[in-house]
Amino acid sequence: MCVVCGCGTGAALAPNENGHGQGHGHGHEHGHDHDHGHVVVAPGGDLHYGAGAARVSVPGMSQARALRLEADVLGANRRLAADNRAHFAAHGVTAYNLVSSPGSGKTTLLCATIEHLLAHAPTLPLAVIEGDQQTSNDANRIRATGAAAIQVNTGKGCHLDAQMVSDAFSRLHLHAHAHAGAAAGAAGTQALLFIENVGNLVCPAMWDLGEAAKVAILSVTEGEDKPIKYPDLFAAARLMVLNKIDLLPHLDFDVPKCIEYARRVNPGIEVLLVSARTGQGLDAWVDWLLQPAE
Amino acid sequence: MHELSLAGGIVRLVEDAAQRERFSRVSRLRLEAGALAGVEVRALRFALEAITPGTCLDGATIDIDEPPGTAWCLHCACSVEIASRADPCPRCGGFQIQATGGTELRVLDLMVHDDQET
């Protein structure tokens, strides 16, 4: 009897049925019809993998083998993101991936930022990729400022991925503009691309889009402990923007505590305080956006 | 619910391997979801059950290893184990730590079958 599986060798197997003799020493190589019997021992003692019963056409039997993949599930997205990053660099485009919960004021901040940039750096090409599950409301708000915007609706999806950004970027005039001969390659930002991710503090943390940096936007109406409640997202961001600071006098939001929480999950995170509504802090924010890439 | 996207990525990886390595069915799939990978394992199982029928993963047993998160503590100058990116260093209680391991979702290996007719 086989001590591994308990089968009786004679019961399951007629002599020579599996193409090798019954004269084997009792290892576990006899070819009875379940999965562990896929290695065949030749009379000389050689091991033959892949020569099992299925190859000799016994109906209903299968050839089992172990396959080692060791593959990163996000690897395909990571490769596309690397392509995007190279594509952006070749066009002199600096891309920022804005992540936050719904209602933090991302679109209002973007509109204020674009107006500020149009006033102070009117020659700088700008574009926005807007991610939402549904509607083109946000892209319409951006276009009303005069900047180009393309809406990406993810349907049921909870985040943008690198393929969506690649598809959207190829449809933007920013892309065509650079192809038309606006010189790229010198140091510094020659065009800005804002990618407004789907409002969600969980999923966008994992998907690299090819951005220069993720920017986490947190409004002071949300509670100062968001960075430790959603640590993955704040750990992935280079900058945290505290938005709606004009409302601070009406709230119990503890700014130093919030910054301490953010630095717990990300010791290197930078922090800026802004109000998209009053314009407070916008100069520092725009300076940050235009700083040379590291 | 990004686990659905991740499950889709897993099925794609396995189906690509099926073409390359010429197998038709998987009886066992082993995954690794690190504690800091941002993956809810129950949700991932649910998503895989929902999308694998009709693929080569139909009916496969799915094992998910969950290695702990590891981080480098700048203060202690050593590697420590953490359960979340919001955790302090378990030795010194400080937050000067940088995640170093348990951050990935990976397909490790699979048991595959040819199921050939002839």
pLDDT tens-place string over residues A83-136: 999 999 999 999 999 999 999 999 999 999 999 999 989 999 999 999 998 889
Q: Does A76 touch chain B (CB under 8 A)?
A: yes
Nearest CA to A145 out of A124, A114, A121 is that of: A114
Nearest CA to A141 out of A172, A171, A105 is that of: A105
Give the closest of B13, B111, B114 to A66, CB-based: B111
CB A30 within 8 A of CB A18: yes
CA of A3 vs chain B CAs: smallest distance (Å): 23
**Residue of B41, B97, B114, B115 to mutate for A, most A C-beta atoms under 10 A:** B114
How many pairs of residues across A and B have Cβ atoms under 8 Å apart? 109
| Interface touch A69/B17, C-beta < 8 Å | yes
User: What pLDDT band is residue A178 in, cutting at 50, 70 and 90?
Assistant: low
Measured in Å, how far apart are chain A's first and last C-alpha atoms?
Answer: 68
Q: Which residue of B has its CA nearest to A228?
A: B86
Cβ burial, residue A182 (10 Å; 0-12/13-18/19+): middle
Q: Which residues of B74-85 are buried (b: 16+ CB within 10 A; e: fewer)?
A: eeeeeebebeeb
- The Cα A101–Cα B62 span in angstroms is 33
- The Cα A35–Cα A65 span in angstroms is 9
Residues 6+ apart with CB under 8 A from B50: B4, B7
Residue A10 in tokens: 């004679």
Q: Does A74 touch chain B (CB under 8 A)?
A: yes
pLDDT tens-place string over residues B65-91: 999 999 999 999 999 999 999 999 999
- The Cα A221–Cα A241 span in angstroms is 13
Residue A51 in tokens: 């020569």
Calculate the average pLDDT of chain A: 80
Give the closest of B5, B74, B86 to A264, CB-based: B86
Q: Does A34 touch chain B (CB under 8 A)?
A: no
**Sign of the torsion angle spanned by Cα atoms A220, A225, A229, A234:** positive
Instruction: Count Cα neighbours of B78 within 13 Å in the Cβ-side half-sphere.
Output: 7
Query: Which residue type is seen at A97?
Result: N
- Report the pLDDT averaged over residues A21-30: 39
Is residue A2 predicted with pLDDT exceeding 80?
no
Cross-strand pairs, B26: B112
Give the closest of B21, B84, B113 to A231, CB-based: B84
Contacts of A77 in chain B (CB under 8 A): 9
The answer to whether the pTM exceeds 0.90 is: no
- The Cα A276–Cα A279 span in angstroms is 5
Chain position carrying tokens 């172990």: A66
Chain B residues whose C-beta is within 8 A of a chain A C-beta are 1-2, 5-6, 9-10, 12-14, 17, 21, 23, 25, 27, 36-38, 74, 84-86, 88, 95-99, 104-116, 118
Low-confidence ranges of chain B (pLDDT < 50): 117-118
Is residue A184 predicted with pLDDT exceeding 60?
no
What phi, psi does A101 have (nearest 5°)?
-80, 165
CB A213 within 8 A of CB A262: no
CA of A33 vs chain B CAs: smallest distance (Å): 13
CB A117 within 8 A of CB A145: no
* Percent of the residues in chain A that have a pLDDT greater than 70, as a whole number: 73
Q: Which residue of B has its CA nearest to A68?
A: B109
Q: Give the Cβ contact number of residue A11 at 10 Å.
A: 8
What phi, psi does B15 have (nearest 5°)?
-65, -35
Query: Which residue type is seen at A111?
Result: C
CA of B111 vs chain A CAs: smallest distance (Å): 4
- The Cα A165–Cα A209 span in angstroms is 7
**Sign of the torsion angle spanned by Cα atoms A6, A8, A9, A12:** negative
- Report the pLDDT averaged over residues A157-175: 89
Nearest CA to A244 out of A52, A100, A79, A128 is that of: A100
